[in-house]
Structures are given as C-alpha cells and as structure tokens.
Chain A
Amino acid sequence: MRYEAPTSVEAATELLAGGKPEARVLAGGTDILVQMHMDAIAPELLVDIKNISEMRQIESLDDGYRFGAAVTGVELMDHANFCRTWPGVMDGVKLIGSLQVRGRATVAGNVCNASPAADSVPALIAAGAIATIAGPNGRRDIPVEDIGTGPGKTSLENGEILVSFFLAKARPSSGGAYQRFTPRTEMDIAIVGVGIDLTLGDDGVCTHARVALGAVAEKALLVEEAAATLIGTKVDEQALDNLAAAASAACRPIDDKRGTKEYRIEVAGVLARRVAAIALSRAKSAREK
C-alpha cells in the first residue's frame, strides 16, 4: 500500500485520477481505517489531505462561511463564531463519535463516507450547505444532498475530491437544529436523524424551511413536503402534527439489526416535532437579537 500526503488540491486529484480504482482519500481516518482493519476495503493508495492548507481553513466571508474538507470536528467546535452562527450544523457535528473521534473526524469524511446515518449530513442539508468539488476537469459546486447516492456511494467521479463547504450567510430570524435517536446516549449510530432549518418573518410566520431526514432511506433525504407543512404557519401544534406525519410519510427505511421499519417511521415523526421546536426557539431568539 502506498501513502501520499500532497500539499495542493491539484496534486491530490492528480494522484487520485492517476491511481488505481483502489485509491482513497484519507481525512481523519475514523471511517476508512476502521474499514481497513475490518478487511472491508484494501486500498492500494491512500491520499492524505491533511497537508493541504486550503483544506484546513475556516473562513468567515462577506457572504457566508467556508470551511475546508480537512477541518476536524473539534476545530469547528473551537470556533465560537461559527458555532453561534450554525448551531444546527454543530448539533450534528457534536454527535459524531466521542471527543477523541471528533479530534480526527472531518465533516467531509462524514459526507463522503456516505452512510445514510451520518450525523452531520441532515444538518448540512437543512442548512443548505454547498460543497465544492475539485477533479481532473476543474471545480464544481453541488448541494450536499446531491453527494450521497446510497450506502457507501457518492456522486463524486473518479479523481474527484471534496475541497470545502460553503454556508451562505444565515437569513435574519432563522434557526436550525439536528437531533438523532440512538438507543445509547453516545457512540452509537442513528436509527433516525432529523435536521431542520427555518426562518421566521416579522409576524412570526415561517417563511422558509428545510427538513432533512437521516437513516430512514438509502441516503439522507431533503423532504420538501415536510418543509411545506411549516411554511406559512407559526409552527403551532397543528403544523407540528402535519410535520410529523409528513416526515413519517417520507421514510422508506429497511428493517435491520439497528431498528425496525415501523419504529423508524414513527420515531422520525416524533423527532421532527422535537427538532422543529428547537429550531423555532433558536429562530425566535435570533430575532430578538
């Protein structure tokens, strides 16, 4: 096995494009090294992206935030302003593994590992995060919901690499939240995850919402029908009931060792209500500021 640690995005994509199909990106390694230990994969080339400075930055821009693919969970947690601006995204990031795991793990790795249960993904989708992808044919921007296509599968082409995420400046009076359900309190894998971002008008009526579900389909889902139940309401009991029903209806889970279909469907609705309530209170307190 070969290990390379290039210092530029171009060098990385070149290595990946030129390499065999078994070439893999190594970010924090908290997924890929575990998979190698379990003999699930045996890559012949590992391209470590941690020495690429562009991928290590968290930048506050005029029109939003951009953070690199090699930024760790802990680095985001230590960035007070980012945390204040994107509490919903951070709800997801803070649930990845333990503190030790987050010390290595990256959000890009979470997205590119393409587990339908990945915790940062519904939160990023709800927040409208855009990923910048670089490859042999240059760069392109795609929304996070278009990356994962199924368990372990992404829409990234051969030689492509996720460079950074962009979060457009948050609307005033908006708030986001993410929660997951796991039987254990920590170190567990989501049976259901729900990320919701919503924006309130001056009259307290929801003007914009995005609802994303994790672990209830082959990939994280952006559920427009669920968002529609909130838009135009004051996110009252009736709206929450409709949200719960729409969230449950959007689930197409499997029965497996981690949870039954019927359980996942029911809990998706329960969690959607709870997450919407948190997002609402965050949006309200954002408005007060």
Chain B
Amino acid sequence: MGLKPTPYGTAIPFEEKELKFVGKNPTERPDAIEKVTGRARYAADYSLPGQLFGKVLRSPHAHANILSIDTSAAEALPGVKAVVTMDDFPDLEVEIAAAGELMVNFRDVTRNVMAREKVLYDGHPLAAVAATSNAIAKRALKLIKVEYEVLPHVIDVVEAMQPDAPILHEDQFTKGVDPKPEKPSNIATRIESKLGNSEEGFKKADVIIERHFNTKAAHQGYIEPHACVANYTEGGYAEVWTSTQGHFVFRSQIAKILKMDLAKITVTPAELGGGFGGKNTVYLEPLAIVLSKKSRHPVKMVMTRDEVFRATGPTSGTNTKVKIGATKDGKITGAQAELNYQSGAFAGSSLSMAAVTVFTRYDIENILVIGHDVTCNRPKVAAYRAPGAPMIAFGVESVIDELAEKLEIDPIEFRLTNAAKEGTQTHFGPKLGPIGFVETLEAAKASEHMKMPLGPNQGRGIATGFWFTIGNETSSTLNIAEDGTASFVYGTVDVAGGSRAVFTQIVAEELGIPLESIRVVQSNTTSLGFNFTTAGSRGTAAGSMAAVKASRDAVARMCDIAAKIWDVDIDEVAWEDGHARPAGANVGDFDPLSVADLAKKAAYYGGTIAGHAELNVVGGGPGFGTHIIDVEVDKGTGAVKVLRYSVIQDAGKAVFPDYVKAQFHGGAVQGIGMALNEEYIYDENGIMENPGFLDYRMPVASDVPNIDTIIVEVPNPNHPYGVRGIGEVPIIPPLAAIANAIHDATGIRLQDHPMSPPKVLKAMSEL
C-alpha cells in the first residue's frame, strides 16, 4: 500500500494442524469487563497533575488568506498559560511517508495541523490556547483577532476540476500528465491502471452499459472524539497519551512536525473508541506538545463532535463513471472506469488504491481505469475502511446488476461466470493466489436467505467486494514469568477488533498452555521496536504472525533449557502440549518439563525466557465477500428499510469466529448508514451544515436488521494459520447491494448517493 514490496519480508507458510484454541470462541475476552464497567481508559480519561486544557481556534471560512493573527488579548486573559500559532511550528519541505493506507506529505501535514498561508476549509486550525479551565480556554479563543481575506471556494469535485475553478494551491500542477501542465490545477494527480485494450474489448461485447455515479463524503463516525494528553519536560522529552491506530507512526509524525528525535518522544496508545482509518494521522498531538512546552504544564485536548466532523478525515466524495461490456452469454469483454475523488484541502485521497482495484473481483482481459485526485475546500480526507472502494463498487456492482438484468442472467451466475480465481491477472499487477471469491458466491447461492420469499414493495440485491491485507513492520515480545505464566507485548493497536483475545489464542496454541496463563498487553513506543499502524486489515493477520514468531522463539529457548538440564542436544528435545519432552525413546527417560518448571530454572541456565519478533510481514491474503440485502421501500415516503442482510466472506481462517462475525456486522452497518442517509452537507459559503449526529444521520440500532453471516475459509498459504484480513471487505458491497435491492423492489436505479427518502421518492415519481 504505497510501500515498496520487500524481498526481505517474512511469511510463515500455512500448516494444516489440529487446533485447540484457534477457531474456537473463548469465553474470556481480555478487554471486555473493563469496557463494560467503564474502567477501560480512553485518551480523554487520562489526567496528569497540574494539567491545563487546550482548545483550538478554527477557521470560519472555507477559503481565505490569513492576513494577521493577534493573540495578545488572549494571552493577557487570566488563566491562559500559552497560545500557539503557525509561528510556533517549523515549515516543512515536501516529504512523502506512509500513514496507514494513505500516504501523507509532511509539508501538508504541518499545514493541516496549523494553517500557515491560508485556511483551506471550515474548521481549519489556526491557533491553540492552553488555560487552567476549558471555559477560560474557550473565552481566550474569542479574544484572538484574525484578519482574513476571504477567497472564492470550491466544494464539489467536478466543479473543482474545471479550469476556471478557485485554486487551492498555486504550486500544484497535475502529476501524471505529460508534458507538465503550465497552469496550476486542483487535480493533484492523474493515474491510470490498464490491462489489455478496453476499446477492443468493447468491440466483442453484445451489450455495453455506461453510467455515472456521485457519492457524498461520509465520516468514519467513531464514537470517541480525538483526544490526547501531552507532557513536555525540561529535559526535552515529550510524552503523549492519545487515541491512535498507530502510536509508532504518530511518533514519527510528531518528530517530523516538531523536528525532534524519535527517542525523545514516548507515545502511549489509549484504549481506542473506534478509528476505521480516521486515527492514522495526528491532529491535536503536536499542538498539545508545543502548548505544554510553552506553558511548562501537561496539556489535555479533547475535540468536540463538531470539530471531529469539520476538521478530521471523512472519506472522499466522488464522481465516477463505469462502462462495462459483455457478450450474450454473460462474459465480460471490456471495462472502463473514471474516478474523480475529493482529497479535501490537501492532495492524497484514497484514489491510489481504489483506482487499481476497481475490477479485481472479475477476470477481465481488457481494463482501463483513469483516476483524478482533486483538492477542494473540505477537510483533508482520511482513510475509511477499504479507503475509496465502497464508492466505486457502488458504480461497478450497479452496472454489473444492470448487465445481468439486461442479459436475463441471474446476478450471482453472472458474477460466477466472470469471477476472479487463483491465477487471474489483476490490473494492479500480480496474479491472484488462492482466493475464496467463487466460494462466497456459491455459498450465497445456496444460502437460506436466497430462499426467503419477498413481499410487495420488497426487493433483493447482491454485490461483492475485494480488499487487500497489508503486512508491514510488526514487533512483539513474549515474556515468560518466573511462575510460567506468559505476557505477550504487542505493538499494533487493538482497534477494538479484539486483538488481545486473538493473540491470547495464538500464543496458547503455540505454547500449549491455557488461555488463563497468558496476559496480552499493549506496548507504548519505548517497549518494542517500530510497528506500522493497524490499518489495511492487518491487525490479526500481521499481529498474529509476530505472535507465532515470538512464541516459537520462546519455545526454542525453553527447549534449550531442557536440553541443558538433561544434558542432551537441543534437537533431542521436542515441544508438545506445553512441555519439553525427549524427542524419542533413545534420548533418555526424562520427565517432561512444564513451562513453570523451565521458568523456575531459567536463570541458572542462562537467563529469563523471552521470545521476540521484529518482522516485516508480507503475504497478506486478499479478501473477498458477497452480500445479500433485502429491502422494503415505502412508496409514500421513499424510506428504505433493510429487512434482511447476509454477509458471506472468506476469512482464510477465523481465529475467533464471533469476532470475525462482529467485523462483518460492523462493516455492513457502516455501509447501510453510508448508503441510506450519511452525507456531508455544505451551505453556499462552504460551511458544513450538519457537524453532529442529529443531522449527520448514522444508523441507530433499530435501523439495522439482524445480520446473518457465513464465514468461508480458504486458507492464505502465506500465514501459519491461513488468516486473511477481514476488517475492510464488509463495507464495500452495501451501497451497491442496497441500490440493487431498491431497483428490484421499485424499478428505479439510483446513481446518486445517499439513497435518502427524498431521492428515492423523486426517482419513483419519475419512473
């Protein structure tokens, strides 16, 4: 994902074996009790003695030059201990780095954290205050005088692409076009992904369908607003407790923005109240550190929901075109797509991954995808669960459904005819390895859901999704205590998906000791080597690889101790069921040694027992899924009710099946929300009109039906337990599946998202 593939990566091959813990649902969930009793500590729950409260002054304009900022009155207010503006942050050069699934440019990151020349969106930070109370900090913000020169703004992606559109960055010339353009443009990048010759492909088609689609920006909607506590000490060290999906990547970003050494910064990830890609980049942390440095007090900052909506990453709003041709017997001969994606105030949307995976679910010889990454006066977009994929899948899976209808072929059969399998050439580069896409379609076809009868005004829709699993740097340590219990320290983040339970199962399986003997603990940035962000569905897939490696390391060390005790060769010791045993009858008649026995004697035989992993994981297995959705449309109001929902997805191996289902549910629910009602709404001045959950309508529990799940398991050959990433795929199909179900119920085809009641009612009246 934006990172160069490495020939030095680690993939531990899949081994079929009998499993005691993996694949079962443990009754103990290590983080559950603390969460339900309210004891789990989220970032906003941390407090330090003498702490101040930090607040951010945000732009009330969509686009304006900053002429001056006068903070003197705010500084004079009793209780105010520090005020910072752009002058407190060094300017940075262009430098690109990975941050989760999207890339960041430090020149832009520092400008997003604190505006420099211009404000580029409603909510753009331009000063911050630390005071002895929140109320004083808020009062101080009102005393900061900013002179603006308001500039024309642009919100819509298609308008932003026009040659006469207001330009956000005078130094931005479209990349990816030859020769280099002479005029600056909001189109930051043009990319192309190609296979065969699509025009030739269309010549072989009997039916060609071309449609245009628009989707609105949607927010990740994590329940926990961004929050942090920072403490800068006189020795030049910074400590930060924060809400993050990647504490090591946050540390790198802080170090760049503040020009500090990495080793002088400690970032501790708090319990995470959801991220979904939105907590991969810093917003408050550098401000809190500089405020702490200036005030010589710890500083706590917590965003309001309004700030979360206005200034943290939603996903891109998009304008897309999809054109697909097929023969009478249902074989797709050619496909084209154009993707115009909002990146918000700074370049770098989810386009880069979305564009190269548009058609990966299908075996198509001729493909052309063109994409544009477009800046506009909105918050900089962040990754959101399969970044960019749901919006283009809305188009592709809607057109596939229309083709199947036109050709009078069942929509599942049509997809089966064209389904990608092992050996299919992708348009992003490699050929696919063993995958479970066909298996999900077959399971959908055979499901109980497909047999359920539909009533009046009801319809059924199908859609599919594909996403990668990334690997990347993953470190962990397994420490065996003197009594034989084990603590496993991991450096990814439990993004609330259940990493702790899953790692416990893996360590128990590897060591052969009970779950109760293992405690899994989150590291901070000092207790382990670098870990990449928990993104790209890698939490369990890559994290468990490190757990396997660290466990096997510790087992090797325990075998070494046993060999020393018995005075035999290390390869004469076998590890079985949590004990070191003689590898064969001829080794000698030794009683097996338990982990506790070995731990007790470890010091004499060389020292404490531990295992380590410092890996760059590769070989993440691609994930595929098929969704079936039944809806009922209210003909009087246009309201769409989701009646029945099935998620069928290849998990490779479900380590903790209930948690896998929870991921399927979560993706489906977020997809339902995005499909039906969620959207960013702007007024004519480019001000967001619905920065709160009352008017940004995420679904509530009663909007969502019971969701059935079928877990397909086609093992990933590059993972010791066959695991694939599963977190992102389930948000890809819902938009299209709902659109297809609405069509089945009413005959209308919706190409404008969200499919909210007024749009549905209007489309029905125009039928």
Chain B residues with CB under 8 Å of A263's CB are: 757-758, 761-762
Contact, CB under 8 Å: B636 / A188: no
Contact, CB under 8 Å: A183 / B756: yes
1/0 per residue B699-716: CB within 8 Å of A?
110110000000000000
Contact, CB under 8 Å: B702 / A185: yes
Contact, CB under 8 Å: B761 / A266: yes
Which residues of chain A (237-272) have a CB below 8 Å from chain B?
257-260, 263, 266-267, 270-271
Complex CA–CA separation, A229 to B306 (angstroms): 45
Contact, CB under 8 Å: A257 / B677: no
Contact, CB under 8 Å: B677 / A183: yes
1/0 per residue A171-214: CB within 8 Å of B?
00000000001011111110000000000000000000000000
Given A187-B693, A187-B700, A267-B637, 15 other A-B residues pairs in contact with their CB atoms under 8 A = A181-B637, A181-B639, A183-B756, A183-B757, A184-B700, A184-B703, A185-B702, A186-B700, A188-B697, A263-B761, A263-B762, A267-B757, A270-B636, A270-B637, A271-B637
Interface centre among A38, A187, A260, A270 (most CB of B within 10 A): A187
B163–chain A nearest beta-carbon distance, Å? 31
A244 nearest CB neighbor, chain B only: B636
A78 at interface, CB cutoff 8 A: no
B138 at interface, CB cutoff 8 A: yes
Contact, CB under 8 Å: B690 / A257: yes
Candidates B306, B690, B697; contact of A184 at CB < 8 Å = B697
The 5 closest A-B pairs by CB, nearest first: A270-B636, A263-B758, A185-B702, A257-B689, A257-B681
Complex CA–CA separation, A270 to B677 (angstroms): 21
Chain B residues with CB under 8 Å of A184's CB are: 677, 697, 699-700, 703
B422 at interface, CB cutoff 8 A: no
A259 nearest CB neighbor, chain B only: B758
A267 nearest CB neighbor, chain B only: B637
A264 nearest CB neighbor, chain B only: B758
A150–chain B nearest beta-carbon distance, Å? 20
Complex CA–CA separation, A176 to B387 (angstroms): 49
B695 at interface, CB cutoff 8 A: yes
Complex CA–CA separation, A259 to B689 (angstroms): 13
The chain A residues found within 8 Å of chain B, CB to CB, are 38-39, 181, 183-189, 257-260, 263, 266-267, 270-271, 273-274
Candidates B636, B703, B756; contact of A267 at CB < 8 Å = B636
Chain A residues with CB under 8 Å of B138's CB are: 39
A222–chain B nearest beta-carbon distance, Å? 23
Given A258-B695, A263-B761, are A185 and B703 also a contact pair (CB < 8 Å)?
yes
B765 nearest CB neighbor, chain A only: A266
Complex CA–CA separation, A39 to B134 (angstroms): 12
Chain A residues with CB under 8 Å of B758's CB are: 259-260, 263
Contact, CB under 8 Å: A183 / B697: yes
1/0 per residue B631-672: CB within 8 Å of A?
000001101000000000000000000000000000000000
Chain A residues with CB under 8 Å of B693's CB are: 187
Q: How big is chain B's contact interface, by range?
A: 20 to 34
The chain B residues found within 8 Å of chain A, CB to CB, are 138, 306, 636-637, 639, 676-677, 681, 689-690, 693-695, 697, 699-700, 702-703, 756-758, 761-762
Contact, CB under 8 Å: B695 / A183: no
Complex CA–CA separation, A186 to B701 (angstroms): 9
A25–chain B nearest beta-carbon distance, Å? 23
Interface centre among B306, B636, B690, B699 (most CB of A within 10 A): B636
25 contacts between A and B (CB under 8 A): A38-B306, A181-B757, A183-B639, A183-B676, A183-B697, A183-B756, A184-B677, A184-B699, A184-B700, A184-B703, A185-B703, A186-B700, A186-B702, A187-B693, A188-B694, A257-B681, A257-B690, A257-B695, A259-B758, A263-B757, A263-B758, A263-B761, A267-B761, A270-B637, A273-B636
Chain A residues with CB under 8 Å of B639's CB are: 181, 183
Chain B residues with CB under 8 Å of A270's CB are: 636-637
B759–chain A nearest beta-carbon distance, Å? 9
A248–chain B nearest beta-carbon distance, Å? 12
Chain B residues with CB under 8 Å of A266's CB are: 761
Complex CA–CA separation, A189 to B695 (angstroms): 8
A112–chain B nearest beta-carbon distance, Å? 19
Candidates A189, A259, A273; contact of B694 at CB < 8 Å = A189
Chain A residues with CB under 8 Å of B637's CB are: 181, 267, 270-271
Complex CA–CA separation, A115 to B170 (angstroms): 45
Complex CA–CA separation, A99 to B693 (angstroms): 18
B730–chain A nearest beta-carbon distance, Å? 21
B283–chain A nearest beta-carbon distance, Å? 21
A10–chain B nearest beta-carbon distance, Å? 33
A188 nearest CB neighbor, chain B only: B697
A185 nearest CB neighbor, chain B only: B702
A181 nearest CB neighbor, chain B only: B637
A256 nearest CB neighbor, chain B only: B689
Complex CA–CA separation, A249 to B29 (angstroms): 58
A263 nearest CB neighbor, chain B only: B758
Interface centre among A184, A260, A267 (most CB of B within 10 A): A184
B689–chain A nearest beta-carbon distance, Å? 5
Complex CA–CA separation, A39 to B135 (angstroms): 11
Chain B residues with CB under 8 Å of A267's CB are: 636-637, 757, 761
Complex CA–CA separation, A39 to B307 (angstroms): 14
Chain A residues with CB under 8 Å of B636's CB are: 267, 270-271, 273-274
A193–chain B nearest beta-carbon distance, Å? 13
Chain A residues with CB under 8 Å of B703's CB are: 184-186
A39 nearest CB neighbor, chain B only: B138
Chain B residues with CB under 8 Å of A273's CB are: 636
Chain A residues with CB under 8 Å of B676's CB are: 183
A98 nearest CB neighbor, chain B only: B700
Chain A residues with CB under 8 Å of B757's CB are: 181, 183, 263, 267
Complex CA–CA separation, A260 to B676 (angstroms): 16
B137–chain A nearest beta-carbon distance, Å? 12
B47–chain A nearest beta-carbon distance, Å? 20
Complex CA–CA separation, A181 to B693 (angstroms): 17
Complex CA–CA separation, A213 to B703 (angstroms): 25
B407–chain A nearest beta-carbon distance, Å? 35
Chain B residues with CB under 8 Å of A259's CB are: 758
Contact, CB under 8 Å: A185 / B700: yes
Chain A residues with CB under 8 Å of B700's CB are: 184-187
A158–chain B nearest beta-carbon distance, Å? 27
A55–chain B nearest beta-carbon distance, Å? 28
Complex CA–CA separation, A260 to B677 (angstroms): 14
Complex CA–CA separation, A282 to B637 (angstroms): 23
A58–chain B nearest beta-carbon distance, Å? 28
Chain A residues with CB under 8 Å of B690's CB are: 257
Chain A residues with CB under 8 Å of B689's CB are: 257
Complex CA–CA separation, A38 to B693 (angstroms): 13
Interface centre among B306, B681, B697, B702 (most CB of A within 10 A): B697
Complex CA–CA separation, A285 to B220 (angstroms): 48
Chain B residues with CB under 8 Å of A183's CB are: 639, 676-677, 697, 756-757
A187–chain B nearest beta-carbon distance, Å? 5
B693 nearest CB neighbor, chain A only: A187
Complex CA–CA separation, A185 to B677 (angstroms): 12
Complex CA–CA separation, A38 to B676 (angstroms): 27
